Structure 1
Amino acid sequence: MGTVCFIVFFCIGLVVAVLGIVLGWAVYPVIVDDNIIKTVVLEEGSEAYERWEEVPFPLDFKVYIFNITNKDEVIAGKKPNLTEIGPYVYKQYRKKFDISLEDGIWTYHQQQKFVFDEKKSGELLETDEVDILNVPLNAILQVAESKGLLDTVNKDLDEIFLGETDIVIRTQVKNLLFEGIKFCEKGRPLVICLAIRNLPIKTLRKGDDNSLYISMFNHKNTKPDGKYEVFDGKDNIEDLGRIAKWEGSSTLKIWSGDDSTCNMINGTDSTIYAPRVYKNKDIFIYNSDICRSVRTRFEKKVFYQGIKGFRYVASEETLEAPSVENGTMCFCLNQTIGITQPNGCLKKGAMELYPCFDSHVVLSYPHFLDADEEYQSGVNGLSPDKDLHRIFLDIEPNTGTPLRGGKRVQFNMFIRKLENVVTTDHLTTLLMPFMWIDEGVELPDEFIDFLNTSLLDILLVLAIVKWVLVGVGGTVAIVFIMVLLFKKKSDDIKSV
């Protein structure tokens, strides 16, 4: 009778352990997965849709300015001494409009709005004056050179730029960023200013009095960044938010080769990511500001306010020097003159943005992180740091919720001698940084609480139940095996 009881208890323990294994590794994952899909899929009226339609909290848009402390020496051809000033922090609001759904594809435009955050900016003010690269002068001169208009512009240079014809200009921060640095006052001189006004420069705008202005981000504050068409995720959850088309096309028409990898539109617009994130699967983000998709790769596990996340960082090849070997020659357009490889392509760590900005702006990581030594050594005052200056994304792997991230890029222009332009006669050719930005997100406390209560706490409970069942069942089975063996041994001893 005792032996029968032992066998019964052993079987019960074994069944409980097996039940824990089946529930924990077969049943629970399916239930949780279905719940996640229902929670994140883009369906009008759902909480996920509302958060997607309008990001429910402002992002931090941080701007760092490179102030030039030796203006006269730079004009005379010496190396610039730079001092970083910042961050000037702006609240960045994002809202989608003109939204429609057809055959599992959401179509929309997205508007951004920037509001200066005095509290987070501390003692810094938008009215601070800085000595920086004369972006309007340098941009117009180099565009004019590429279009055969340099001599025409040069004749009226002083009138066009209101006497500000040095390569370094003193201006207020708000003018560089949003309000614009003025030139061609009241549209004069008429002929050349009319020609400049018709140039398709993204950062150029016309004022009410026909004066012209160049600023880095006014266009982001006043115009949507294109028409998006993205998957709703119902047919395939891994397609959630993935861009099917931008501006009516599934590929870009910007870089060389219509079917090149450079023109591929991959990933989402960074406001949404698919759930079920795996370490061996890269995450792509399309950024219309730089007219390309960026590949990010898993780096390590992280914790943000107690929530486990995966950290992804921009892949090493993002700003590699264009080459046939790495398949990135399509990013080399030979439209930006400066310090280049023998084939005319920019060196490592720099990317020409002319086809995107219609101006000879060069993109890099902040402080020339991972850039060619010739770019780094051209100026004084930089301190590249991977923790501060690389692009990263921390993401909760079950739901695809972004926990924290930073899109960090630097804007630069080559300065160099231009033929017959006296103001550039003594310049040394170098890549001049003038600002960098950190477009960051940190999930607020209320959304951390929502994430915990809606899913992660459930996952924790299920994990505990799973291991309790396995542990208790396994322990019961093992204990009764041991008792049975002990009893058998005792019986053998008695029989002797």
Structure 2
Amino acid sequence: MIQNGAIPIVEEIGPYVYRQYRQKKVKHFSRDGSKITYVQNVHFDFDEDASAPYTQSDRIVALNMHMNAFLQVFEREITDILQGFANRLNSRLNRTPGVRVLKRLMERIRGKPPFSWVNGILVSLIEDVKSVLQISENDPGLALLLVHLNANLKAVFNDPRSMFVHTSVREYLFDGVRFCINPQGIAKAICNQIKESGSKTIREQSDGSLAFSFFGHKNGSGHEVYEVHTGKGDATKVLEIQKLDDSHNLQVWLNGSTEGETSVCNQINGTDASSYPPFRQRGDSMYIFSADICRSVQLFYQSDIQYQGIPGFRYSIGENFINDIGPEHDNECFCVDKLANVIKRKNGCLYAGALDLTTCLDAPVILTLPHMLGASNEYRKMIRGLKPDAKKHQTFVDVQTLTGTPLQGGKRVQFNMFLKSINRITITENLTTVLMPAIWVEEGIQLNGEMVNFFKKKLINTLKTLDIVHWAGLCGGMGVAILSLLYYTYQRGRPAKAPVKQVG
């Protein structure tokens, strides 16, 4: 049993297919016509036929993400507060003459046997000073706070028996898993704090309770304001994002030490993946920007393809997406290091194949590819039931080469959270630290039959006609040239006629 420290065994269910409809509402054009600003509204409808035999009413056992997030955020904030207090106290003590004298004496006599009794006294004194600084788990105030938190978890999160929740697909994805139902006292204060945190995935209900859903906040009016290039003056920039929410860059990831310097992680590059720059070439690359994960993603040419008779190029993500992250790859700005006591490298970066989205989502969520495809064994060895498959789980897009129109594709990612023991939180006390999968999603696109026919009729057939005319004209021109050459040669080869003399 996972609650007692057992290794989790996961089983994939689904797919649950939703049709996504996007509507871009134009706000205004720039004066020169080179920029357009819009807000994108997104709507989801469940596709029963494509999902069969699965339905939204199916019962599932899933990671209780909202409770796990709350506990880890609480742990981090309390630790930050206490560490800040300890640092201030330590700084003040270091400025105290008596403490400085003790430290200097310690340095001078350390390791000298004749003064071992003095050394023992000084060690004892220094340890007493250190004990003042260790105001973490042994602090009575903190212990009391954690006791209250433990006692009120039942009232806040509906009497949880484990770190998992029994719910329906509809509730987990869109309608919401309800909690904070008629809380009282301290539980009410905790719920108010959760409400004020502003998490996108948690919404207040009409009765005052709260509900967590993974995609509910995406269903309806859009929030981000995009400014994109229209292609005027430079067709290769068409739909390239110029600004997001009136800013050229993000303020999500770490920046350089130089004031005003924007790190590569915070740069906004590429389109929103609804279309791509035209005039693609073999061996090139292009960017898309995903607001869901707060970053730009580079796609690389892989091969030539045919989609229902339409030629195109296939692009997919490279190792620099989530495998090659860290100071050795010049993108340590992705190493936000916001998680304590988890499986990570000594420099604070996660191991290959995982990206910490804490600063993006305001929740301790970790991004990987589905089934942890390509992820470090440090994570995969702690989970049973994973079945990574590059054909099923790799992100790709097929693009029509001339126009940049996407023919088909799939943006595939998995969202995970660390399960771990949190000091003095009873429900977590026996947990083994693991990176636990929660859900993996594919945002796919396919050009429908109507658009395929339109492309073939208006573009492909036209190009073929122009190609035929081109070759016909070329062949005709070559034919005329050859005939002219033959005629010229023939004329040069004929014997000259003798001039006729007139006798008169």
Query: TM-score normalized by structure 1?
Result: 0.80
Name the structure 1 match of 2:70. Answer: 140
Trace 1:370-449 onto structure 2 (pairs within 5 A): 370-449=374-453
2:467 to 459, 463, 466: 463
How far off its partner does 1:136 sit? 1.8
Q: Are residues 1:128 and 2:58 paired?
A: yes
Q: Are residues 1:109 and 2:39 paired?
A: yes
How far off its partner does 1:474 sit? 4.2
Name the structure 2 match of 1:4. Answer: none
Q: Which amino acid aligns with 1:146?
A: R
Name the structure 2 match of 1:18. Answer: none
Trace 1:58-457 onto structure 2 (pairs within 5 A): 73-103=1-31, 104-148=34-78, 151=146, 152-188=148-184, 189-257=187-255, 259-337=262-340, 338-457=342-461
Determine if contact 2:155/2:183 at 8 Å carries over to the other structure.
Answer: no
Determine if contact 1:225/1:288 at 8 Å carries over to the other structure.
Answer: no
Determine if contact 1:141/1:153 at 8 Å carries over to the other structure.
Answer: no
Determine if contact 1:187/1:194 at 8 Å carries over to the other structure.
Answer: no
Determine if contact 1:281/1:297 at 8 Å carries over to the other structure.
Answer: yes
Higher relative contact order (CA 8 A, sep 6+): 1
Distance in 2 between residues matched to 1:288 and 1:120, nearest whole Å: 27
Which of the pair is proportionally richer in strand? Answer: 1
Distance in 1 between residues matched to 2:20 and 2:441, nearest whole Å: 12
How far off its partner does 1:425 sit? 1.5
Distance 1:385 1:479, change over 3 A: farther
- Range 266-275 or range 360-369, more displaced: 266-275
Q: Which blocks of at least 5 consecutive residues in structure 2 are unaligned?
A: 79-141, 256-260, 496-504
- Range 346-355 or range 150-159, more displaced: 150-159
How far off its partner does 1:356 sit? 1.4
Q: Which amino acid aligns with 2:391?
A: D
- Range 284-293 or range 177-186, more displaced: 177-186
Distance in 1 between residues matched to 2:425 and 2:486, nearest whole Å: 94
Q: Which blocks of at least 5 consecutive residues in structure 1 are unaligned?
A: 1-72, 492-496
Tell which structure's C-alpha radius of gyration is larger: 2
The DSSP-based 3-state class of the residue aligned with 2:345 is coil
Determine if contact 1:274/1:399 at 8 Å carries over to the other structure.
Answer: yes
Name the structure 2 match of 1:19. Answer: none
Distance in 2 between residues matched to 1:133 and 1:110, nearest whole Å: 30
The DSSP-based 3-state class of the residue aligned with 1:297 is strand
How far off its partner does 1:222 sit? 3.4
Q: Which amino acid aligns with 1:127?
A: S
What is the count of residue pairs matched by the alignment? Answer: 419
Distance in 2 between residues matched to 1:187 and 1:302, nearest whole Å: 58
Distance in 2 between residues matched to 1:280 and 1:404, nearest whole Å: 19
Distance 1:381 1:484, change over 3 A: farther
Q: Which amino acid aligns with 1:164?
A: P
Cα deviation, 1:169-195, whole Å, max 9, x if unaligned, reads 211111111111111113542111111
Distance in 1 between residues matched to 2:74 and 2:161, nearest whole Å: 15
Distance in 2 between residues matched to 1:353 and 1:154, nearest whole Å: 27
Distance in 2 between residues matched to 1:141 and 1:165, nearest whole Å: 15
How far off its partner does 1:155 sit? 3.2
Determine if contact 1:136/1:181 at 8 Å carries over to the other structure.
Answer: no
Query: TM-score normalized by structure 2?
Result: 0.79
Q: Which amino acid aligns with 2:8?
A: P
Determine if contact 2:367/2:413 at 8 Å carries over to the other structure.
Answer: yes
